[in-house]
Every structure is written in structure tokens, then in C-alpha cells.
């Protein structure tokens, strides 16, 4: 599929994906969502870390496209919500780490896109919010599911019921982002984090991600059983043999991702 709204750069195992719709501050219409869905469904197997950011200096993603949503009926609204939820769940369950480098507005569907990524880092200029109730809708791309899990119900409800927009330093304080950076240092910071991940065993990272993600919805006994099973799986990998041998032989490990 040719992409009109995605810019993709591949660099030695790290892929940078930029959402690019400058006329609408990178707002997500159904075409962009479909492109994003196609991209993640067919992600280059050489990609070991994905970084998602917004094109331009002002916006990560300013939400779902309001001009497209304005005319939807109930069934179409349901289908649009399902499309966004499906694409974002695919991103969340990719077997590789996904870092959101939030360079500007991350509102509505933009905040929801950032939240389906494993890790969020932000420019000091970034702004976050779920302003949907001001438009007569609710967060519909999984925001009511993920925001309370990330920052707790109390503050999530305040953000969602008031539609308030928060700055990057507040997003850092409430744990919505891991770190904040000067705008020109944001992508370098994301790349530096990605490179640290590249130095580690890919299968182990993937299994750790699976364990953290699936533990969300399990009770303690089931969660601990899942972790033990995935921990056991590590011992069936060449990377575990190599990682431990390298430690004992006092040399750097060379992981093959097997
Ligand atoms: N949709 C469509 N167009 C947009 C959007 C958007 N979300 N955001 C910005 N734009 C457009 C503007 O209309 C404007 O276009 P034009 O130049 O043709 O007038 C252009 O981008 C530039 O925007 P502004 O002139 O408004 O720029 P400002 O710097 O003055 O303001 C803001 C920037 C604060 C980001 C402002 O544009 C704004 O408030 N945007 C809307 C933010 C918003 O409410 N986002 C949430 C949308 S709802 C949502 O995401 C729901 C997700 C779940 C969907 C479930 C479906 C069922």
C-alpha cells in the first residue's frame, strides 16, 4: 500500500514513523487510520524498535478528524471507534517496543495513540488532553480504557470530564510521560533509548512486553503463572544461552533474536 500520510525511516533496526497531515495538525481521519493499520499489520520484520512521532513542529496528533466525525450516525460512530481501537490494539501488542515521541499536541485520539505505545517521552512543548466531552463525544479510541490504567481513575476522570489540556511538565508529574526534552532533543532521546533496547535480547524484550500487557487483565495467581511460563520460555532461546555465557566469559553478548 502507498502511504499519503505516513513518513517512514528505517535505520539499523529502528523505524521512525511520522504521522503527516499538516493541514489538520496530523488529525486522524479514516484514511490515515487505515494506512497506520496497514503499516503495523505489515511491519518490516527487521524493525526491532518503532518510534512514532508527528510530522512538523506543532503537533503529534491533534485528535481524530472532527470534520469527518461531524456527520457520523450511531452505527458509523461505532465503526470509526472500532477501527481506531483495532489499530491501536495492534500497536499495543506488536512484539517489539514502541516509543511515542510526543512533539506537540496529543489531544483526543492523539493522546490515545500515545497511550497505546509502550513508552511516552515528550517535548517540553507537548500538550495532552481528552477534550472529547467538549465536542459531545467520549474518548473513543480506547482512552477510557488506557488513561485510568496509566495515571489512576481520579485524575483520568478529571481529565476526561473537564476536557482540560495539560502541559508536558504536568504529564510528567502524573506519570503520563517518562521524560521531557527540549524539542530538538526529543528524537535523539528516543533514538538513544531505542539503541539501549537494541543491545538487549529481542525475544526477552518481547516476552517481557507480553507478560506486562497480559498481566493487566489477570488476577495475581494467573498473572504470576503467566510470568513463570514466559520466564521458562526464555530458557528455550539461544539468546539466553548467549547472554549468560557472555556474562560468565566477561564479554559483550551477541544476540540473534532466537
Ligand atoms: N480534526 C480536524 N481538523 C483539525 C483538528 C482535528 N482534531 N485539529 C486541528 N484541526 C485543523 C483546524 O481545523 C485548522 O484547520 P484550518 O486551517 O482549515 O482552519 C488547522 O488544523 C489548524 O488548527 P488551528 O487553527 O485550530 O490551530 P491552533 O494552533 O489555533 O489550535 C488546537 C490548535 C488547540 C490543537 C486546535 O486545533 C484544536 O483544539 N483542535 C481540536 C483538538 C481536539 O478537540 N481533539 C480531539 C478530537 S476528538 C477525538 O480525537 C476523538 C477520538 C475518538 C474518536 C471516536 C470516534 C467514534
Q: CA-to-CA distance for 205 and 239, rounded, in angstroms?
A: 11
State whether 126 and 227 are in the same domain. no
pLDDT score, position 177:
98
Cell of residue 257, nine digits: 533474536
Across the chain, what does the average pLDDT equal? 97
Range of the structural domain that residue 140 is part of: 6-198
Q: What is the pLDDT of residues 197-207, one digit of tens each?
A: 999 999 999 99
* 255 in a structural domain: no
State whether 13 and 117 are in the same domain. yes
State whether 94 and 144 are in the same domain. yes
Query: What is the pTM (predicted TM-score) of this model?
Result: 0.97
State whether 63 and 123 are in the same domain. yes
CATH number at residue 169: 3.90.226.10
State whether 137 and 215 are in the same domain. no
* 253 in a structural domain: no
Q: What is the pLDDT of residues 111-168, one digit of tens each?
A: 999 999 999 999 999 999 999 999 999 999 999 999 999 999 999 999 999 999 999 9
Residue 1 has pLDDT above 90, yes or no: no
Whether 160 contacts 108, CB under 8 Å: no
State whether 182 and 208 are in the same domain. no
* 216 in a structural domain: yes
DSSP string, 196-243: HHHTS-HHHHHHHHHHHHHHTTS-HHHHHHHHHHHHHHHTTSHHHHHH
State whether 156 and 31 are in the same domain. yes
Q: What is the pLDDT of residues 206-242, one digit of tens each?
A: 999 999 999 988 999 999 999 999 999 999 999 999 9
How many folded domains does the chain comprise?
Answer: 2
Residues with CB under 6 A from ligand 1: 24-25, 27, 62-67, 69, 77, 80-81, 84, 105, 107-109, 131-132, 135, 139-141
State whether 155 and 34 are in the same domain. yes
Q: What is the DSSP letter of 28?
A: B
Residue 201: how many CA atoms within 13 Å on its side-chain side? 17
Quote the ligand 1 centre to 27 CA distance (angstroms).
7
* 158 in a structural domain: yes
pLDDT score, position 244:
97
Q: What is the DSSP letter of 64?
A: B
Does the active-site annotation cover 132?
yes
CATH number at residue 207: 1.10.12.10
**By C-alpha distance, which of 216, 205, 137, 126 is closest to 171?**
126
State whether 172 and 225 are in the same domain. no
State whether 86 and 135 are in the same domain. yes
Q: What is the pLDDT of residues 136-149, one digit of tens each?
A: 999 999 999 999 99
**Where does the pLDDT of residue 109 fall: very low under 50, low under 70, confident under 90, or very high at 90 and above?**
very high
* 97 in a structural domain: yes
Q: What is the pLDDT of residues 57-91, one digit of tens each?
A: 999 999 999 999 999 999 999 999 999 999 999 99
State whether 239 and 187 are in the same domain. no
State whether 115 and 243 are in the same domain. no
Query: Of the listed 79, 132, 184, 214, which one is catalytic?
Result: 132
Quote the ligand 1 centre to 246 CA distance (angstroms).
52
Amino acid at each position: 500500500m502507498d502511504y499519503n500520510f505516513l513518513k517512514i525511516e528505517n535505520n539499523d533496526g529502528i523505524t521512525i514513523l511520522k504521522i503527516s497531515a499538516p493541514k489538520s495538525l496530523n488529525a486522524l481521519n479514516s484514511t490515515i487510520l487505515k494506512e497506520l493499520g496497514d503499516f503495523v499489520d505489515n511491519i518490516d520484520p527487521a524493525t526491532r524498535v518503532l518510534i512514532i512521532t508527528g510530522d512538523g513542529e506543532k503537533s503529534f496528533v491533534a485528535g481524530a478528524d472532527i470534520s469527518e466525525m461531524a456527520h457520523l450516525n450511531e452505527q458509523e460512530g461505532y465503526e470509526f471507534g472500532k477501527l481506531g481501537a483495532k489499530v491501536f490494539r495492534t500497536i499495543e501488542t506488536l512484539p517489539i517496543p514502541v516509543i511515542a515521541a510526543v512533539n506537540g499536541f496529543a489531544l483526543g485520539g492523539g493522546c490515545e495513540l500515545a497511550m497505546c505505545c509502550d513508552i511516552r517521552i515528550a517535548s517540553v512543548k507537548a500538550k495532552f488532553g481528552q477534550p472529547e466531552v467538549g465536542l459531545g463525544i467520549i474518548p473513543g479510541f480506547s482512552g477510557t480504557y488506557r488513561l485510568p490504567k496509566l495515571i489512576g481513575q481520579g485524575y483520568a476522570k478529571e481529565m476526561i470530564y473537564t476536557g482540560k489540556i495539560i502541559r508536558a511538565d504536568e504529564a510528567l508529574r502524573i506519570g503520563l510521560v517518562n521524560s521531557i526534552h527540549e524539542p530538538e532533543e526529543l528524537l535523539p532521546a528516543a533514538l538513544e533509548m531505542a539503541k539501549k533496547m537494541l543491545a538487549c535480547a529481542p525475544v526477552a524484550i518481547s516476552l517481557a512486553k507480553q507478560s506486562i500487557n497480559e498481566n493487566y487483565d489477570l488476577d495475581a495467581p494467573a498473572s504470576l503463572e503467566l510470568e513463570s511460563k514466559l520466564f521458562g520460555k526464555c530458557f528455550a532461546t539461544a539468546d539466553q544461552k548467549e547472554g549468560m555465557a557472555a556474562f560468565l566469559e566477561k564479554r559483550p553478548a551477541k544476540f540473534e533474536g532466537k
